[in-house]
Amino acid sequence: MRLLIRAARILTLAQGPRPRRGTDLARLGVIPLGDVLIDGEAIAQVAPCIEPTGGAALLEADGRVLMPGFVDCHTHACFAGSRLDEWERKRRGVPYLEILKAGGGIMSTVRATRAASAEDLASLLVKRLELMLRAGTTSAEVKSGYGLTTPDELKMLRAIKDAGALWDGTVAPTALLGHAIDPDRAGFVEGVIEQTLHEVSEEFPGITLDAYCENGAWTVEQCVALFDAARSRGHPARVHADQFTSTGMIPAALRIGARSVDHLEASSDEDLTALARSTTFGVGLPACGFHLDGRYANLRGFVDHGGAACIASNFNPGSAPCLSMAMIVALAVRHCGLSPEEAIAAATVNPATLLGLVDRGTIAPGQRADLVLLRHRDERLLAFEFGDAPVDAVICGGRVVHASPTRPS
pLDDT, one tens digit per residue, over 274-321 is 999 999 999 999 999 999 999 999 999 999 999 999 999 999 999 999
Q: Which amino acid, residue 167?
A: W
For residue 3, which phi and psi values (nearest 5 degrees)? -135, 130
Which runs of consecutive H residues, i.e. helices, occur in 140-219? 150-166, 188-191, 197-203
For residue 322, pLDDT over 90 is answered with yes
Beta bridge partners of 137: 70
Contact by Cβ (8 Å): 93, 99:
no
Neighbours of 97 (CB within 10 A): 9
Contact by Cβ (8 Å): 244, 214:
yes
Residues 359, 176, 241, CA angle at the centre, nearest 5°? 90
Distance CA 160, CA 68 (A): 24
- Convert the pLDDT of each residue in 291-300 to its tens digit: 999 999 999 9
pLDDT interval class at 103 (50, 70, 90): confident
Distance CA 73, CA 19 (A): 14
Contact by Cβ (8 Å): 336, 297:
yes
Least confident stretch, 83-97, 330-344, 366-380, 386-400:
83-97
Contact by Cβ (8 Å): 205, 234:
yes
Residues 91, 92, 98, CA angle at the centre, nearest 5°? 95
Contact by Cβ (8 Å): 180, 188:
no
- Convert the pLDDT of each residue in 140-164 to its tens digit: 999 999 999 999 999 999 999 999 9
Distance CA 21, CA 19 (A): 6
Distance CA 370, CA 286 (A): 24
| Residues whose CB is less than 8 angstroms from the CB of residue 139 and which lie 6 or more positions away in sequence, other chains included | 69, 70, 71, 72, 169, 170, 171, 172, 351, 352, 355, 357, 360, 370
For residue 137, pLDDT over 50 is answered with yes
For residue 347, pLDDT over 50 is answered with yes
Distance CA 77, CA 79 (A): 6
pLDDT interval class at 404 (50, 70, 90): confident
For residue 18, pLDDT over 90 is answered with yes
pLDDT interval class at 184 (50, 70, 90): confident
- Mean of the per-residue pLDDT values of the chain: 96
Structural domains in the chain? 2-69+361-403 (2.30.40.10), 71-354 (3.20.20.140)
The two beta strands, 281-284 and 309-311, are parallel
Query: Can you list the positions of beta strands (E) in 285-334?
Result: 309-311
Distance CA 343, CA 290 (A): 17
- Convert the pLDDT of each residue in 202-251 to its tens digit: 999 999 999 999 998 999 999 999 999 999 999 999 999 999 999 999 99
Contact by Cβ (8 Å): 29, 11:
yes
Which pLDDT value is given to residue 233? Answer: 96
**Peptide bond between residue 19 and the one before it cis (omega within 30 degrees of 0):** yes
Q: Among positive and negative, which fits the CA dihedral 281, 287, 291, 293? A: positive
Contact by Cβ (8 Å): 292, 87:
no
DSSP category for residue 368: B
- Convert the pLDDT of each residue in 25-63 to its tens digit: 999 999 999 999 999 999 999 999 999 877 899 999 999
Beta bridge partners of 371: 68, 395
Contact by Cβ (8 Å): 309, 24:
no
Conformation bin of residue 306: beta by default, left when phi > 0, alpha when psi is -120 to 50: left
pLDDT interval class at 408 (50, 70, 90): very low
pTM of the predicted structure, to 2 decimals: 0.97
pLDDT interval class at 114 (50, 70, 90): very high
Q: Which long-range contacts (CB under 8 A, 24 or more apart) does 194-203 make?
A: 195/150, 196/149, 196/150, 196/153, 197/226, 197/229, 197/230, 197/233, 199/150, 199/154, 200/150, 200/153, 200/154, 200/157, 200/175, 201/230, 201/233, 201/234, 201/235, 203/154, 203/157
Which pLDDT value is given to residue 133? Answer: 98
Which helix (H) or strand (E) segment holds residue 346: the answer is helix 340-346
Helix, strand, coil percentages (3-state) for the chain, rounded to 5, are 35, 25, 40
Query: Can you list the positions of beta strands (E) in 116-235?
Result: 137-143, 170-178, 208-213
Which pLDDT value is given to residue 14? Answer: 96
